Chain A
Amino acid sequence: MITGAARGIGRACAVAYARAGADLLLTDIGRDLPGVPYPLGTADQLAHTALLCREQGAGSAVVTVPADVRDTGDVGAVVEAALDRFGRIDVLLNNAGIAAPSGKTVHDITPDEWDLMLDVDVSGAWRMIRAVGGAMTRQRSGSIVNVASTAGLVGYRHFAGYVTAKHALVGLTKAAALDLAPFGVRVNALCPGSVRDDEAAEGRMLSEIARSLDVPVEEHEQTFTAAQPMNRLIEPDDVAGAALWLASDESRQVTGSTVTVDGGFTSR
Chain B
Amino acid sequence: MTDDRFTDPSAAGRLCRAVALRVHTGADPERLGRALALLGPAGARLWVEDVPDGAESPAAALLRERELSRPADPATGPGLRAVLLRYADGAADLVVVAHRAVAADPYEPARALLLEPAAPAAGPAPVPGSASGGAAAGLREQVARLDREPAPAWGLGEPGATTAGARPFTLTVHGDVPVAVTAAAALGLVLARCTVDPEVELGVDPGHSLTFTAGGAATVGEYLARVRDTGPAPCRAPVAGLYVTEPAEVLTGEGVKAETLSARPFLAPLHPLSVHVADDGSTVLSGVCHHRRSVFGDAAAEWLTGMLVTAHRALVTAGPDTPLADVPLFDDEQRHRLAVLGGLGRTPSAPGAAGERIERTVRAWAERTPDATAVSDEGRALTYRQLDERAERIAGSLRALGVAPADRVGVCLDRTADLVVVLLGVLKTGAAYVPMDPAYPADRLAYMTEDAELSLVVTESEAFPSLEGVRTVSPGSLAAEVPEGTPAPGPLSADDAAYVIYTSGSTGRPKGVVVPHRNVGALMDATREDFGLGAQDVWTLFHSSAFDFSVWEIWGCLTTGGRLVVVPYWASRDPQRFARLLGDERVTVLSQTPSAFAQLMEADRAEPVADSVRLVVFGGEPLDTRPLRSWLDRHPASRCRLVNMFGITETTVHVTAQTVTRREALTGSRSVGHPLPGWHVSVLDPEGRELPPGVAGEIHVGGAGVAGQYLNRPELTAQRFVPDPHAPGPMYRSGDRGRLLPDGRLEHLGRLDNQVKLRGFRIELDEIRARLLDAPGVAAAAVVLRRKPGDAAGARLDAYVVLRGGDGVPGGDGDPGGGTAAPAGTEEVRRHAARFLPEHMVPSTVTALPALPLTPNGKIDTARLPEPLTGGGPDASPADEEAGDLETRLRAVWEKVFGFRVGPDDDFFALGGNSLLAVRLLAALRDAAMPVFPLPQLYLHRTVRALAAFLDKAEARA
Q: Which of B52-101 contact A (CB under 8 A)?
A: 52, 59, 62-63, 65-67, 70-73, 76-78, 81, 83
Could you tell me if B49 and A84 are in contact, using CB atoms closer than 8 angstroms? no
Q: Are A84 and B66 in contact (CB under 8 A)?
A: no
Q: Is the CB of B59 within 8 A of A84?
A: no
Which A residue's beta carbon lies closest to that of B13?
Answer: A87
Q: How far is the CB of A17 from chain B (nearest CB, A)?
A: 15
Q: Which of A80, A85, A87 contacts B47 (CB 8 A)?
A: A85
- Range for the number of chain B residues in contact with chain A: 20 to 34
Q: With an 8 A cutoff between CB atoms, is A175 at the interface? A: no
Contact yes or no, A135 B47, CB < 8 A: no
Whether B70 contacts A86 by the Cβ 8 Å rule is yes
Task: Report yes or no: B81 in contact with A84, Cβ–Cβ below 8 A.
Answer: yes
Q: Output the residue of B63, B72, B83 with the most chain A CB within 10 A.
A: B63
User: Assuming the A-B contacts A54-B51, A59-B63, A61-B49, are A84 and B78 also in contact, with contact meaning beta carbons closer than 8 angstroms in the complex?
Assistant: yes
Contact present for A84 and B43 (CB under 8 Å): yes
Q: A59-B59, A59-B62 are in contact. Are A87 and B51 (CB under 8 A)?
A: no
The answer for the CA separation of A55 and B51 in the assembled complex, in Å, is: 8
Contact between A54 and B66 (Cβ–Cβ < 8 Å)? no
**Are A55 and B52 in contact, CB atoms less than 8 angstroms apart?**
yes
Across-interface contacts of A62 in B (CB, < 8 A): 49
Whether B77 pairs with A84 at a CB distance below 8 angstroms is yes
Contact mask for chain B residues 793-835; partner A; CB cutoff 8 A; 1 contact, 0 none = 0000000000000000000000000000000000000000000
Contacts of A63 in B (CB 8 A): 47
Q: Which residues of the other chain, B, contact A84 by a CB distance below 8 angstroms?
A: 43, 45, 76-78, 81
B63: chain A residues at CB < 8 Å are: 59, 61
Q: What are the residues of chain B within 8 A of A119 when measuring CB–CB?
A: none
Residues of A contacting B529 with CB < 8 Å?
Answer: none
Q: What's the least CB distance linking A54 to chain B, in Å? A: 5
Instruction: Tell me whether B77 and A54 are in contact (CB under 8 A).
Output: no
Q: How far is the CB of B750 from chain A (nearest CB, A)?
A: 40
A23 touches B52 (CB 8 A): no
Question: Could you tell me the distance between the alpha carbons of A111 and B478 in the complex, rounded to whole angstroms?
Answer: 118
Interface set, chain B 487-519, CB cutoff 8 A to A: none
Q: Given A59-B62, A61-B63, A61-B67 in contact, is the A87-B50 Cβ separation under 8 Å?
A: no
Question: Known contacts A54-B51, A84-B81; is A61 also within 8 Å of B76 by CB?
Answer: no
B67 close to A54 (CB less than 8 A) = no
Given known pairs A54-B51, A54-B52, A59-B59, the reply for A87 and B71 (CB within 8 Å) is yes
B66 A59 Cβ-Cβ under 8 A: yes
Least CB distance from B137 to A in Å reads 15
Which chain A residue has the least Cβ–Cβ distance from B61?
A59
- Cα A85 to Cα B44 in complex, Å, equals 10
Question: Which partner residue on chain B sits nearest A80 by CB separation?
Answer: B77
Query: Which B residues are CB-close (under 8 A) to A51?
Result: 52
Interchain CB contact under 8 A, B62 and A85: no
Q: Is the CB of A87 within 8 A of B72?
A: yes
Q: B180: shortest Cβ distance to chain A, in Å?
A: 31
Cβ–Cβ < 8 Å partners of B78 in chain A:
84
Produce 1/0 per residue, A62-93, CB < 8 A to B. 11000000000000000010011111100000
Complex CA gap A54/B77 in Å reads: 24
Does B12 sit within 8 A of A, measured CB to CB?
A: yes
Residue of A nearest to B85 (CB): A61
Q: Mark B673-708, 1 if CB is under 8 A from A, else 0.
A: 000000000000000000000000000000000000
Of B70, B72, B76, the contact of A135 (CB 8 Å cutoff): B76
A83 and B51 contact, CB distance less than 8 A:
no
When chains A and B are docked, how far (Å) is the Cα of A58 from the Cα of B52? 12
For B51, give the chain A residue with the smallest CB separation. A54
Chain A interface residue bracket vs B: 10 to 19
Q: Of B51, B66, B71, which is within 8 A of A23 by CB?
A: B66
A51 CA / B50 CA spacing, docked (Å):
9
**Closest approach, in angstroms, between the C-beta of B72 and any C-beta of chain A?**
7
Distance, CA A85 to CA B81, complexed state (A)? 7
Nearest chain B CB to A194's CB is how many angstroms away? 34
Query: Given B12, B49, B59, which contacts A87 in the complex, CB threshold below 8 Å?
Result: B12
Contact residues in A for B66 (Cβ distance below 8 Å):
23, 59, 61
Mask, A119-158, CB within 8 Å of B = 1, is: 0000000000000000100000000000000000000000
Most chain B CB neighbours (cut-off 10 Å) among A54, A58, A59, A80: A59
Minimum C-beta distance from A126 to chain B (A): 22
Q: Shortest CB–CB separation between residue A34 and chain B, in angstroms?
A: 32
Complex Cα gap A62–B66 (Å): 12
Give complex CA distance A128, B361 in Å: 83
Residues of A within 8 A of B83 (CB): 61
Chain B residues with CB under 8 A of A61: 47, 49, 63, 66-67, 83
Interchain CB contact under 8 A, A87 and B52: no
Q: How far is the CA of A63 from the CA of B48 in the complex (A)?
A: 9
Instruction: Return chain B residues, CB-CB under 8 Å to A23.
Output: 66
Residues of B within 8 A of A54 (CB): 50-52
Q: CA A43 – CA B164 in complex, angstroms?
A: 40
CA distance in complex: A88, B77 (Å): 10
Q: Which residues of chain A come closer than 8 Å to B51, judged between CB atoms?
A: 54
Complexed CA–CA distance, A5 and B62 (Å):
24
Q: Cα distance A59–B47 when bound, in Å?
A: 16
* B76 neighbours in A (Cβ, 8 Å): 83-84, 87-88, 135
In the bound assembly, the distance between CA atoms of A59 and B52 in angstroms comes to 11
- Residues of chain A with a CB closer than 8 A to B70's CB: 86-87
Docked Cα-Cα span, A52 to B558, in Å, equals 78
A87→B267 CA distance, assembly (Å): 13
A83 to B83, CA, bound (A): 14
Return the chain B residue nearest A56 by Cβ: B52
Residues 529-575 of B at the A interface (beta carbon under 8 Å):
none
Given A59-B62, A63-B47; A87-B67 close (CB under 8 Å): no
State A59–B73 Cα separation when bound (angstroms): 22
A-side contacts of B71, CB under 8 Å: 87
Most chain B CB within 10 A, of A23, A83, A85, A135, is at A85
B893-904: contact bitstring with A at CB < 8 Å (1 yes, 0 no)? 000000000000
**Nearest chain-B residue to A54 (Cβ)?**
B52
Shortest distance from the beta carbon of B23 to any chain A beta carbon, whole Å: 18
Q: How far is the CA of A84 from the CA of B47 in the complex (A)?
A: 10
Closest residue of B by beta carbon distance from A81: B45
**Shortest distance in angstroms between B76's beta carbon and chain A's nearest beta carbon?**
4
CA separation between A54 and B57, bound complex, in Å?
14
Note all chain B residues with C-beta closer than 8 A to A87: 12, 70-73, 76-77
- B77: which of A55, A58, A59, A83 is its contact (CB, 8 Å)? A83
Within 8 Å CB of A88, what residues of B?
Answer: 76
B716: min CB distance to chain A, Å? 60
Within the complex, what minimum Cβ distance (angstroms) separates A59 from chain B?
A: 4
Using CB atoms, name the residue of chain B closest to A85: B47
Tell which of A55, A61, A80, A87 has the most Cβ of chain B within 10 Å: A87
Tell me the minimal C-beta distance from B136 to chain A in angstroms: 14
Expressed in whole angstroms, the minimum distance between the Cβ of A79 and any Cβ of chain B is 10
Nearest chain B CB to A64's CB is how many angstroms away? 11
- State the CA gap A23–B83 with chains docked (Å): 14
Residue on A nearest B78 in the bound complex, by CB: A84
> In the docked arrangement, what's the CA distance between A178 and B81, Å?
35
Chain B nearest CB, measured from A135 CB (Å): 7
- In the bound complex, what is the Cα–Cα distance between A61 and B83 (angstroms)? 10
List chain A residues, Cβ under 8 A from B81: 84-85
- Tell me the nearest residue of chain B to A63, going by C-beta: B47
- Chain B residues with a Cβ under 8 A of chain A: 12, 43, 45, 47, 49-52, 59, 62-63, 65-67, 70-73, 76-78, 81, 83
- 14 A–B contacts, CB within 8 A, in A order: A23-B66, A55-B52, A59-B62, A59-B63, A61-B47, A61-B49, A61-B83, A62-B49, A80-B77, A83-B76, A84-B76, A84-B77, A85-B81, A86-B70
Other than the given A59-B62, A59-B65, A87-B76, 17 more pairs (CB < 8 A) read: A23-B66, A54-B50, A54-B51, A59-B59, A59-B66, A61-B47, A61-B49, A61-B67, A61-B83, A62-B49, A84-B43, A85-B47, A85-B81, A86-B70, A87-B73, A87-B77, A88-B76
A-B pairs with the 6 shortest C-beta distances? Answer: A59-B62, A84-B77, A83-B76, A87-B71, A59-B63, A55-B52
